[in-house]
Amino acid sequence: MSINRVNLVGRAGRDPETKYFDSGKQVCNFTLAVNRRTSNKDEPPDWFDLEMWDKTADIAGKYVKKGSLVGITGSLVFDRWQDKTTGEERTKPVIRVDQLDLLGSKQDNQSSSSSSGGYDSDF
């Protein structure tokens, strides 16, 4: 039996970017900052690239802003491409999100969009 499941809770590192295709599909990408459960609050967060499609992408594009607290469930995939300058194959780990949970309150989302963009170390 094989399992490829990722569950994360963290804050959006930037506003989501949504792209629309002629087929009617849409994709949304943003980064997620996740703190580790350690006593060292000076430790930097881990950063994850997220990718979501269709209805989940639509929701993320409408309601997630930089600093929003979200929970995600998805799977780890590797984007692969050939570097245009060197010709070498490149890979990048991406979490393909199946489920997006908006965890912050409406007030949190409004205040995060007007903040300076800094992150508290205790999220």
The reply to whether 87 falls in a domain is yes
The reply to whether 123 falls in a domain is no
Q: pLDDT (tens digit, 9 = 90+) per residue, 37-89?
A: 876 778 899 999 999 999 999 999 999 999 999 999 999 999 999 999 999 99
CATH of the domain at 77: 2.40.50.140
The reply to whether 1 falls in a domain is no
Q: pLDDT (tens digit, 9 = 90+) per residue, 43-57?
A: 899 999 999 999 999
Helices (H), 17-73: 54-63
pTM of the model: 0.78
The reply to whether 95 falls in a domain is yes
Please state the domain count of the chain. Answer: 1
pLDDT on residue 103: 93
Distance in angstroms (rounded) separating the CA atoms of residues 46 and 19: 25
What CA–CA distances, in Å, run from 26 to 13, 61, 92, 113? 20, 10, 20, 24
The reply to whether 54 falls in a domain is yes
Q: pLDDT (tens digit, 9 = 90+) per residue, 15-36?
A: 999 999 999 999 999 999 999 8
The reply to whether 71 falls in a domain is yes
